[in-house]
Structure 1
């Protein structure tokens, strides 16, 4: 029975690296995969999933209007669907992913952030937390050595940012993965 998996973590935990490794494992066995990534994340190259350790692969981009199930079902014999930046899915798209697993027997591996820079759930993450058959946390480390679970947004001078749009695309230049204690302390200063 196929399942919907949600692999979640803070920034810089290796989510894209894990996704690309899973993709490699399927393809090494001669299986066809479909990769998706958010159209708004163009930090490296549009339509590409890129990890910080240098791995990358072409992917189909999605935005709020993308019918992911239709894209998948238009392809011959997909063995697995892998979604990067899954926090940017909307609830209807997560429902589509669940149907791909339940009705069509296609495993779906979704990778993304659980919460934003204010500690609030993203729409896609909230729906994945509600529907996924398996929730897998990928561990990251705070500077203190504890598990990092939060994403602190910082400005150009490294100062914490507490207000603003939920989505601002960036990497180490805009976000720092912290444990909850240090996240809360940083926002108090």
Structure 2
């Protein structure tokens, strides 16, 4: 029986690495996977999922208005899918998360979603909110703060490395723009 999984964490916890490893494991056993990623994140090129450790895969891109049932069903009809893996799932809309539940419940294809839980102000992303509510399995991937505690928050940095308290929820960036920290350090930088 297929299930909807949400693998969440802060930045630099190995989400993309884990996704790529899962896809590799399926393919190594002769099974087909569909790797998908948000079109908004083109840091490594359009239609690519890349890991900081140097591995990557081609991916089908989705935008906020795409119907994922149609995209996945088309791929499934062309070549039977055994698993769908979604990177940057925090950018999914509520409707798209609902569509992924259809893929699991009706098409009977497992869906593994990987993404951030919350933004740089400590607020949930829309896709993450509904995955937390509707996923069958929730798995936290862990990374650490500079102090050694578990990092569960993300801080956005300006050009000089200072924490920002305001701004648009989505601003694509990597280590130059974001730092994963524990809640204590997030409190000191953002809330206090």
**TM bracket (short chain):** over 0.9
1:66-113 per-position Cα deviation (integer Å, ceiling 9, x unaligned): 111111111231100000000000011001111111111100000000
Deviation per residue, 1:137-177 (Å, 9 max, x gap): 00010011110000000001000001000000000000000
| Aligned counterpart, 1:86 | 89
2:42 paired residue number? 42
CA distance in 1, matches of 2:103, 2:191: 44
State the match for 1:4 in structure 2. 4
Give the number of aligned pairs: 189
1:186 positional shift: 1.5
8 Å contact kept, 2:39–2:46: yes
Partner of 2:150, secondary structure, is coil
Normalising by structure 2, what TM-score? 0.97
Unaligned runs of 5+ in 2: none
Superposed, 1:10-89 pairs within 5 Å as 10-75=10-75, 76-89=79-92
Residues in 2 aligned to 1:141 and 1:69: alpha-carbon distance in whole angstroms? 36
Aligned to 2:163: 160
2:134 aligned with 1:131: yes
Q: Does 1:180 align with 2:183?
A: yes
**1:44-63 CA distance string (max 9 Å, x none):** 11110000000100001111
Root-mean-square deviation (CA), in Å?
0.8
Ranges in structure 1 where 5+ consecutive residues have no aligned partner: none
CA–CA separation in structure 2 for the residues paired with 1:30 and 1:107: 16
**Deviation above 2 Å: which 4+ runs of structure 1?**
none
**TM-score, length-normalised on structure 1?**
0.98
